[in-house]
Structure 1
């Protein structure tokens, strides 16, 4: 579990709430409280003590350099204790965040410098729970969710708190 002062860059996908609901139906403990369905662009991000106006401006610039996009969620990634929906449409944004802050190792370096963009549906479950969640979620897929903003969130004693919302660019029409 992350410690207070941890921050993250995330893209919320409220339209994917049904996926979380499916996991909660199996066990509420499978869904981490405090954040709506989201794809992580960079976690952990900078410690809260290092978040400055300059960092906020860099996050805003990063978001402005990427267009709002429809995110197709269709392929599941299942591993021991983990069920996620792949979100390849957000890979360019996640990669850009990792490139912009190369000193920050996403997920502590466990999945390389550019981990695959995904929406975690369930975490910490048994194989049986993963199987149940997978069956329920497969009934809801594919689905498309609109990504419109990059959020900088910080974990406090009270839970995850929003520090900044930076709009993604409006696609040219």
Structure 2
């Protein structure tokens, strides 16, 4: 979601430690996902199939949420696809249960904002950038490697992957 990059930039200007540099603005459909060492062809086919079953989406980002050191912007327009991924892999708990069983689709803006003043500054800074319009056009499967997060493949939303 390149259009959401200014949200992360605003948080970084307040405290660079709050933003994971090198990780672009995005909505995690299911995190943690299957570890790379356990990822099967069936998992990859499942990701491709789900992406093909949802159209590209115009999105409106307008609500900031905060919770225990975490600042995000909700993305309700992607909740249906997030729910579909959770249904496809029911054994994977989103965020290991940290935000409950069904956390809202969101763009993480800041993590580790345990200082209430810092969190309030981030919230105000990103709130001034909203509402923000963007478009989701693809799903990207990324895997955690020794070198950090690396893309494995990208598949467009709403485009069948073939037979």
Query: Which TM-score tier does this pair reach, normalised by the shorter chain?
Result: over 0.9
- Kept after mapping to 2: 8 A contact 1:80/1:127: no
Match of 2:131 in 1: 142
Match of 2:60 in 1: 72
Tell me the matched-pair count. Answer: 158
For residues 74-113 of structure 1, the aligned pairs below 5 Å read 74-113=62-101
- Stretches of structure 2 that go unaligned for 5 or more consecutive residues are none
Q: Bigger CA drift: 37-46 or 128-137?
A: 128-137
* CA deviation string 1:126-151 (max 9, x = no partner): 11111111111111100011101111
For residues 1-173 of structure 1, the aligned pairs below 5 Å read 13-125=1-113, 126-169=115-158
CA RMSD of aligned residues (A): 1.2
TM-score, with length taken from structure 1: 0.87
Q: Which structure features the higher share of strand residues?
A: 1
- Kept after mapping to 2: 8 A contact 1:72/1:142: yes
User: 2: distance between equivalents of 1:148 and 1:75?
Assistant: 21
SS at match of 1:38: coil
User: 2: distance between equivalents of 1:127 and 1:117?
Assistant: 23
Pairwise CA distance, 1:21: 0.4
SS at match of 1:39: coil
User: 2: distance between equivalents of 1:53 and 1:18?
Assistant: 36
TM-score, with length taken from structure 2: 0.92
- Stretches of structure 1 that go unaligned for 5 or more consecutive residues are 1-12
